[in-house]
Amino acid sequence: MKPVIIDKEKCIGCGKCVKDCVSEKLGIIDGKAVFKYERCIQCGHCFAICPTGAVSMRDYPDAENEAVVDMTEFDADKLLTAMKSRRTIRQFKDKEVSAEDIAKIIEAGRYCPTGTNAQDFAFTVITDALPDIEKECVKFFRWGQKAATPFSKYIKNSTIDDNFFFKKAPLVIVVSSKGHTSACLASSYMELMAESLGLGVLYRGFFVGVAKLNPKIGAMLKLEKGYKPVTTLVIGYPDVKYERIPPRNKAKVNYI
């Protein structure tokens, strides 16, 4: 069955979907758009660009005709200042993140761009299991301080308390994938959404390393087959306030 369906009654033959088709699978026949080949990455460009709503997608029967919002509606200078103002948070309030806000963070990640529309990532939301996972991670790191592990030189002089990994945050989201790039892009989208909700984020690279090295922790995450943790977002309401934007080195840019 064809993944893209064209309603000939609604189609006006404008050709916008044909011109914008990433896979070049659409054409105009007898003044109407038609899907020419079976292979399609289902990116949704044809669905998004059609002015009359003539396009539907077989695998997404419940897709809503939600109107787009152009990024130019946001003040560019204010957005840049906000992005420069964000800080990695390691102090969190004892306050839970609502299910509604978690859903928004996941939704932001779900809509990040992926090559060939692969959407090749998954999300593990950790709340109730946080104490058990933290305990196992701390145990592993304390052992690592004494043994020759890949983390030894980084944690040799660190104070590894019972909250070393998650800093008493109420929420952790692990983004996993068979690859790498898509999960990183999703995480970036998710972080921006979390910040817009008044939340703070800590990327916990140590946890990703531990989850890969310690089979017990990996099993606790219950990842899909073939998926590996790529990023870990520790999320909660900040219990610290920063007053100014810190300096950065000049960007290394080549114009050619």
Q: In angstroms, rounded to a whole number, what is the distance separating the alpha carbons of residues 255 and 249?
A: 18
Mean pLDDT of the chain, nearest integer: 92
Q: How much is the pLDDT for 148?
A: 60
> 207-244, pLDDT tens digit by residue?
999 999 899 999 999 998 999 999 999 999 999 999 99
- 156-210 tens-digit pLDDT: 777 889 999 999 999 999 999 998 999 999 999 999 999 999 999 999 999 999 9
Start-end ranges of CATH 3.40.109.10 in the chain? 73-236
Domain 73-236 superfamily per CATH: NADH Oxidase (3.40.109.10)
Nearest residue to 203 (alpha-carbon basis) of 172, 228, 180, 182: 172
Give CATH for domain 4-57. Answer: 3.30.70.20
Statement: residue 256 has pLDDT above 90: yes
pTM of the model: 0.91
Q: Where in the chain is the domain with CATH 3.30.70.20?
A: 4-57
